Structure 1
Amino acid sequence: MEKLAGKVMLLWGGRKALLTLGAGAVGALALAPFDIFATMFVAFTLLVWIMDGTASEPDAGWFSRIWPAFLTGWLFGFGYFAAGLWWLGNALLEDGAEFAWAIPLASLGLPFVLAVFYGLATVVARLLWSNGPGRITALALGFGLAEWLRSFVLTGFPWNAIGYAAMPVPLLMQPAHILGIAGMNILAVFVFSVPALLGTRRGAVPGLLLAALLIVADLGYGFWMLGKAPDADAKEVSVRIVQPMSGLESDISDAERAALFEDLIKLGGMPPKSGDRPPQLIVWPETSIPFILSQNQSAFTRIDEMLGDGQVLVAGAVRAEDSAPGTPHRYYNSVYAFGSDGEIIGAADKVHLVPFGEYLPFEDFLKNIGLETIAANASGGYSAATRHTVLTLPGIGSVYPLICYEAIFPTEIDEEGETAADVLLNVTNDTWFGYTPGPYQHFQAARITAVEVGKPMIRAADSGISAIIDPQGRIISGAGLQTKGVVDATLRFGSVATWSKSARNINFWLLCVISLIAASFSRFSFVSDYN
């Protein structure tokens, strides 16, 4: 490998740029639905060697000295995000061709911006770079900090964080409830980068041994967690998820809306299979009710007729809120809970809205140039709730609603006090993404969120992937992508004892400090040939 490493280090110009782009793109194959996580070893090994050959003039100014490193990380990130997020353009065509002009912005513009974070990652790494194994630690630190920033800067978009690639199956997911996805990002980059040491030999033995120890610890902890007996005293609830394949059409007739609603009623009211318990909890996906409930009182009657004694329905819907005379209504992306008499017993509104999808950043300016939200309504977009609301369902327990991509923000889930809940409830409509990697990536992130917070999850998606997931990320029952029907299963509401959110944050920063110390020690212990 030394010969190959030497060739990579000596590349320059266009060939070097293409290899860096290609390395990032190859790494994206480790994401769902492909889950070829071995490609990340190739991607980060090449990135380390490319960084080894990335030099700057020692007498140049500060910006000129860091620019080559930034460009390397940016090219790697652009390849990774373009290959992993190309499907975003599909969302602009699902509801007609009105937004087709914006496909390049979604498929290439967003990767262009997200790649900046990886450029910052390689700048941090470069400042601590050395000949020794510490450069691997420096790269892990840089990417860990970059992914942490990506989780909240500009409202956050942690989709396809590197750590997800290291957790394709429940066996490998379990440390997430100790370290969170933030901590897993650091360890994943370290392990993925270690083979690069074989190409330069220096520090290869301790680096490989540490990586092997981390892998064995991950596997061992996973076996232990998955082998634990479930809580025998935990409440068992029979659940039905309705996956209606109702689509996204907004400009449809009242008769078509009525037909969609009746389809939901039919699926929700289907008798259980012979020998199965009737569902206590029925779940419809995000915005599945195709009209404003306050404008269709007959809907309550139909829900009452569908529900039996003791049954509860939780359904996604658009909620309209009255406003001052002469001003438009405020609209919320919400879920309603209905008791067995068809009356509303609870509601929760979405807190974390999708930029450009559900609201316009810099709204006044962008509307003046003709832009609007993709999921537009009568007022143009949605309003955000100020906090998450837990739904307490009679005879069932408490559920924590996560609407759409709120499920990929585990650090925003309140796990203690009044907002603690028995189960996570994720309702979504991934029809926007069609038959692409998007729904698979969304589903994988939601599963890992369930593991991180140690709660079971009920996930209802209009066109898939719907599933009932236990606290260890195992699928109890589910429905695949682009299928219509129901998912019936019994869910045990017991949680897994996890580290608290604050403890996971402390563990993340502890890993950052350890990485910084190791990288600094290596830098001062080895004379760098590249500075």
Structure 2
Amino acid sequence: MVKMAGRVMLLSGLPRALVAFIAGLVAVLAQPPFGIFAFAFISFPVLVWLIDGATGNPEGGIVRRLWPAAAVGWWFGFGYFLGGLWWLGNALLVEADEFAWALPLAVVGLPAFLALFYALATVIARIFWSDGVGRIAALALAFGLCEWLRSFLFTGFPWNAVGYAMMPMPLMMQSASVVNLATINMLAVFVFAAPALIATGRGSRIGMTIALMLFTAHVGYGFYRLAQPAPAAPEPPIALRLVQPVIDQAKKLDDNERAAVFEEHLTLTGAAPENGGKRPDIVVWPETSIPFILTDNPDALARIAEVLDDDQVLIAGAVRAEDAGAGLPPRYYNSIYVIDGRGQIIGAADKVHLVPFGEYLPFEDLLSSWGLSSVAASMPGGFSAAKKRSLLTLSGGKTLYPLVCYEAIFPDEIDGDARRADALLNVTNDAWFGDTPGPRQHFHQAQLRAVETGTPLIRAANSGISAIVDARGVLMVGLSYNYRGVVDTLLPGKMPTPLDDAMRSRVFWLCALFLLLVAVFSRVGFNIRKN
């Protein structure tokens, strides 16, 4: 390993960039659908050794001194995001005649942009770089801060955050009930990068000991929490049905197919429970499953009433239109409706965090004048965002915390109401992305929201993955990708989490401060030894 580390450190030019790029690609194997976290123990030590050798011109300015480290971080990030997000291009091929031109921007441009966050991380780390465990602390701190920035800058896109690689299964998800994703990102990088100390650097024993203790505590707490009794189901029991129709996205966009799409959902809704099971109290359809403006189609509400019993409830994704006033076009919202057995709309919640370029067009006046439009919103002006998230209240006082599509990837935007709700509700339509890693990654991230909040997750997806996940992230029942059908089960119960959101945020900053102190003192000691 010592020889390998030396060779990596001495690389320069194109070979250095290529190794950084490959290391990023290898790190993707730690994310779904592979979920082999061991690969991160390969990629991050390589990144450490590359930064060890990224020495700039000491006679130049700060940019020249730090540029080699920035280049290493960017190439690592480019490989990571290219390998993890290439499937986004599938959405542009649904209407290829209109959007195929933007394929390079989605497949290459977005990863190139996101890689700037990792370039910033390696620059920050390099500022505090030393020859011992301090440099592992510096890298962990820098990645933790930059992943935190990625979660909200430019509307945020924390997809495939590094910490998810440390949580591939429920056993390794339970730490998310104690600390937030930002903290897990930071500590995961420390653990993943620590093996670099075996080959290089002072303090290898203490660094590896700390990493081993963190990993043992992470897994050990998982064993402990999963050994506890499963959360008690609410009384009276609530029977759920998830409908997964697997309707091709091109068909959903075809005006001539809208009635057939609607009837496919109704057919699955009315199917008898298997093995004489309990008739569902609540039926859940995916995002935009109602393929027209429901309030303009009273016959559709009548059809829903025909299929439902009087005491049943349908929860369905739909586009909601709202009058904007005289002379103005309507505003449209990506919404969730609650419809009772008599065909009455008794509740609704609108999406808060929209997808830029997908559901709305940033700088719309300018970009629309160039002929651009949003991909997933066919109505003029795209979707409007709700000002705040509204709980869905059902009969009997039960409440659901609504998350439409990729809202489920933003843990910091899920407020305290999620812990007070009886369940998280995530409706989505991942058919845009085909049978690729995207839907699996999306499900994995939504799964973690249940663990973080101690609240079960109800997830209905057009093409999959639809599932009921309990408060520990354990999959109760589900339908795999591209499996058409329904799944019936009872709603699981809630489970308390050790810390509230405010305390979890404090833990993040305390960990960041500790790593900063380790990095600074190591750097000072390194400078003293050099002189």
TM-score normalized by the length of structure 2: 0.97
Q: How does 1:95-244 map to 2 (within 5 A)?
A: 95-232=95-232, 234-235=234-235, 236-244=237-245
Offset at residue 232 of structure 1 (A): 3.8
Tell me if structure 2 keeps the 8 A contact 1:128–1:138. yes
SS of the residue corresponding to residue 30 of structure 1 reads: coil
How far, CA to CA, are the matches of 2:97 and 2:211 in structure 1?
A: 49
Offset at residue 518 of structure 1 (A): 1.0
Relative to structure 1, the CA distance from residue 151 to residue 226 in structure 2 (aligned partners, 3 Å threshold; closer, same or farther) is same
Deviation readout 1:177-230 (Å, 9 max, x if unpaired): 221111100111001001100111521111111111111101110011111113
How far, CA to CA, are the matches of 2:528 and 2:321 in structure 1?
A: 62
The amino acid across from 2:437 in the alignment is P
Q: How does 1:67-106 map to 2 (within 5 A)?
A: 67-106=67-106
SS of the residue corresponding to residue 179 of structure 1 reads: coil
Tell me if structure 2 keeps the 8 A contact 1:92–1:99. yes
SS of the residue corresponding to residue 338 of structure 1 reads: strand
* Corresponding residue number in structure 2 for 1:401: 402
Offset at residue 280 of structure 1 (A): 0.9
Q: Which moves more between the two structures, 206-215 or 141-150?
A: 206-215
Tell me if structure 2 keeps the 8 A contact 1:137–1:516. yes
How far, CA to CA, are the matches of 1:411 and 1:94 in structure 2?
A: 31
Tell me if structure 1 keeps the 8 A contact 2:244–2:462. yes
How far, CA to CA, are the matches of 2:123 and 2:377 in structure 1?
A: 40
Q: How does 1:241-390 map to 2 (within 5 A)?
A: 241-249=242-250, 251-254=253-256, 256-390=257-391
Tell me if structure 1 keeps the 8 A contact 2:468–2:476. yes
Gaps of 5+ in 2: none
Offset at residue 528 of structure 1 (A): 8.3
* Corresponding residue number in structure 2 for 1:504: 504
* Corresponding residue number in structure 2 for 1:436: 436
How far, CA to CA, are the matches of 1:123 and 1:177 in structure 2?
A: 31
* Corresponding residue number in structure 2 for 1:58: 58
How far, CA to CA, are the matches of 1:32 and 1:251 in structure 2?
A: 29
Relative to structure 1, the CA distance from residue 530 to residue 364 in structure 2 (aligned partners, 3 Å threshold; closer, same or farther) is farther
* Corresponding residue number in structure 2 for 1:37: 37
How far, CA to CA, are the matches of 1:420 and 1:387 in structure 2?
A: 17
SS of the residue corresponding to residue 131 of structure 1 reads: coil
Q: Which moves more between the two structures, 351-360 or 333-342?
A: 333-342
Offset at residue 416 of structure 1 (A): 4.1
Gaps of 5+ in 1: none
The amino acid across from 2:115 in the alignment is A
Relative to structure 1, the CA distance from residue 113 to residue 183 in structure 2 (aligned partners, 3 Å threshold; closer, same or farther) is same
Deviation readout 1:106-161 (Å, 9 max, x if unpaired): 00000011001001101110111000111001000000000000000000000000
Offset at residue 380 of structure 1 (A): 3.4
Offset at residue 352 of structure 1 (A): 0.1
Offset at residue 168 of structure 1 (A): 0.2
Q: Which moves more between the two structures, 479-488 or 324-333?
A: 324-333
| Count of matched residue positions in the alignment of Structure 1 and Structure 2 | 529
Deviation readout 1:36-64 (Å, 9 max, x if unpaired): 21111111010000000010122211222
The amino acid across from 2:254 in the alignment is I
How far, CA to CA, are the matches of 1:446 and 1:378 in structure 2?
A: 28
Offset at residue 105 of structure 1 (A): 0.3
Q: How does 1:422-501 map to 2 (within 5 A)?
A: 422-501=422-501
SS of the residue corresponding to residue 504 of structure 2 reads: helix
Tell me if structure 2 keeps the 8 A contact 1:332–1:350. yes
SS of the residue corresponding to residue 198 of structure 1 reads: helix
SS of the residue corresponding to residue 348 of structure 1 reads: strand
SS of the residue corresponding to residue 399 of structure 1 reads: strand
The amino acid across from 2:151 in the alignment is S
Q: CA RMSD in A?
A: 1.6
Offset at residue 486 of structure 1 (A): 0.4
How far, CA to CA, are the matches of 2:232 and 2:167 in structure 1?
A: 28
% identity of equivalent residues = 54
Tell me if structure 2 keeps the 8 A contact 1:422–1:495. no
The amino acid across from 2:427 in the alignment is V
SS of the residue corresponding to residue 361 of structure 1 reads: coil
SS of the residue corresponding to residue 137 of structure 1 reads: helix
TM-score normalized by the length of structure 1: 0.97
The amino acid across from 2:181 in the alignment is I
How far, CA to CA, are the matches of 1:95 and 1:500 in structure 2?
A: 44
Relative to structure 1, the CA distance from residue 17 to residue 232 in structure 2 (aligned partners, 3 Å threshold; closer, same or farther) is closer
Tell me if structure 2 keeps the 8 A contact 1:41–1:195. yes
Matched, 1:523 2:516: no
How far, CA to CA, are the matches of 2:225 and 2:508 in structure 1?
A: 21
Offset at residue 251 of structure 1 (A): 4.5
The amino acid across from 1:314 in the alignment is I
Offset at residue 237 of structure 1 (A): 1.6
How far, CA to CA, are the matches of 1:443 and 1:396 in structure 2?
A: 28
Deviation readout 1:365-393 (Å, 9 max, x if unpaired): 11111110001323130000000000111
Indicate the structure with greater helix content. Answer: 2
How far, CA to CA, are the matches of 1:515 and 1:174 in structure 2?
A: 23
Tell me if structure 2 keeps the 8 A contact 1:286–1:428. yes
The amino acid across from 1:270 in the alignment is A
Offset at residue 360 of structure 1 (A): 0.7
How far, CA to CA, are the matches of 2:314 and 2:416 in structure 1?
A: 24
